[in-house]
Amino acid sequence: MIPAHVPENRIVNFDIFNPPGVEDDYFAAWKTLLQGPGLVWTTANGGHWIAARGDVVRNLWNDSARLSNQCLAVTPGLGEVMQFIPLQQDGAEHKAFRMAVMKGLASRYVVALEPRVVEIAGELIANLRPRGSCDFVAEFAEVLPLNIFLSLIDVPLEDRPRLRQLGVQLTRPDGSMTVEGLKQAADDYLWPFIQKRMAEPGDDLFSHILSEPVMGRGWTEDEARRMCRNLLFGGLDTVAAMFGMVALHLALNPQDQRLLREQPDLIPAAADELMRRYPTVAVSRNAVTDIEVDGVTICKGDLVYLPSVLHNLDPASFDAPEEVRFDRDLTPIRHTTMGVGAHRCVGAGLARMEVIVFLREWLSQMPEFRLDLTQPVRMKGGNVGACITLPLVW
């Protein structure tokens, strides 16, 4: 049922998990919304608003006073069940817990992790190069960042396939698991590690965070579960998705491969620009008060979906946004790939470092690569869109 406050001319039928044409081109599927008003109401997934213009996406993403993060996603019941810390918190509580997480992810730890990223990237590349082809997603993009994250929290690397499936069910659910089942699977896996970290802190990410006091006290077991649950799901999908999109761009644009091979000092700027050009993360917010936006009213309790793709690819936000320009001025970084405001991704520094290392190591050790035209590239929508198959040859 469409709420009475939703104007008829704002109603669309747009399923964020399966936009029309998403299997072939995630970005083209989403860009169809840029042709209409800045805020639309979709009848899919129980009904919710979608911010459909760059300024509306960014302004609402940054509006933590009137929009809460407690809903987590448009998936019914997901927010109520997951109760992530700090992602689903607001105000002073969010600030206190986020500070502890940020200290655990301090830049010195990210810098110390870089040699391990280089090592794993080198091992993967050495195994792939003699073959002359690969499915980049399954054999690199879903391996490197997940292995790094599992190393960071000090859990067995052989658990990667099992945990990867949990991450996919959160961001691109297929109905095979209930929300409650997904949470329970994560908690059952994490609890032995949490108990050990709280009793005997080590040098892993969970230990670093749980040893940081929150509001002058230690973490409760419930808070520790909710935080570790948040970081587990946060680390399982987003960087892998970004790797896939970056590799797809380079496979389609050999001139950019050549430029970065010849001028590797451009790689950090290239990483920033490619992350801007290929955003696939979206967040959901629920209004805690009525908000007037783009000539309509978001009423208290309404859910609003904020896709980074519709900010980063809006011509009103960036000049020629679909062009990749390694000399594009992104200082201060204004794209929304990693979010904006109080809830900007706590792992943004780690993600950027991983993309830079991937570009540097892959381009220095692999010959020029291209798409394998005998096999299709496939994409999927969701709270984190991604390539699910990316066949490459060299």
Using one digit for the tens of pLDDT, what is the confidence trace for 123-142?
999 999 999 999 999 999 99
**Residues 316-345: tens digit of each pLDDT:** 999 999 999 999 998 877 899 999 999 899
Q: Which of 17, 61, 10 is nearest to 38 (CA)?
A: 10
Structure tokens at 151: 């190393």
Enclosing H/E stretch for 94: helix 91-104
Enclosing H/E stretch for 49: strand 48-51
Query: Quick one: pLDDT at residue 189?
Result: 92
Burial class, 130, CB count within 10 angstroms (exposed 0-12 / middle 13-18 / buried 19+): exposed
pLDDT-derived band at 175 (thresholds 50, 70, 90) equals confident
348-365 and 144-153 are packed helices; what angle lies between their axes, rounded to 10 degrees? 130
* pLDDT value at 77 more than 90: no
Q: Are 183 and 229 in contact (CB under 8 A)?
A: yes
* pLDDT value at 94 more than 80: yes
Domain layout of the chain by residue ranges: 8-393
* pLDDT value at 167 more than 90: no
Query: What's the distance, Cα to Cα, between the start and end of the chain in Å?
Result: 52
pLDDT-derived band at 352 (thresholds 50, 70, 90) equals very high
Dump the DSSP string for 195-245.
HHHHHS--SSHHHHHHTS-BTTBPPPHHHHHHHHHHHHHHTSSHHHHHHHH
The 8-class DSSP code of residue 8 comes to G
Cα(323)–Cα(319) distance, rounded to whole angstroms? Answer: 9
Cα(75)–Cα(284) distance, rounded to whole angstroms? Answer: 10
Cα(386)–Cα(240) distance, rounded to whole angstroms? Answer: 8
* pLDDT value at 171 more than 90: no
CATH of 8-393, one of 1.10.630.10, 3.30.1330.10, 3.20.20.150, 1.20.140.10: 1.10.630.10
* pLDDT value at 235 more than 90: no
Residue pointed to by tokens 């919304």: 33
**Residues 143-166: tens digit of each pLDDT:** 999 898 888 888 888 998 888 888
3-state helix, strand, coil in the chain (%, to 5): 50, 10, 35
Cα(222)–Cα(77) distance, rounded to whole angstroms? Answer: 19
Structure tokens at 295: 């000539």
Cα(319)–Cα(189) distance, rounded to whole angstroms? Answer: 46
* pLDDT value at 42 more than 90: yes
Which pTM value belongs to this model?
0.93
Q: Are 51 and 66 in contact (CB under 8 A)?
A: no
Query: Quick one: pLDDT at residue 170?
Result: 82
Beta bridge partners, 49, equal 41, 304
pLDDT-derived band at 310 (thresholds 50, 70, 90) equals very high
* pLDDT value at 45 more than 90: yes
pLDDT-derived band at 249 (thresholds 50, 70, 90) equals very high
Query: Quick one: pLDDT at residue 251?
Result: 98
Dump the DSSP string for 282-326.
EEEEEESS-EEETTEEE-TT-EEEEETHHHHT-TTTSSSTTS--T
Residue with more model confidence, 332 or 256? 256
Structure tokens at 231: 């970081």
**Residues 259-281: tens digit of each pLDDT:** 999 999 999 999 999 999 999 99
Q: Which of 392, 388, 372 is nearest to 380 (CA)?
A: 388
- Average pLDDT estimate for 305-321: 97
pLDDT-derived band at 196 (thresholds 50, 70, 90) equals very high
Residue 263's identity, in one-letter code, is Q
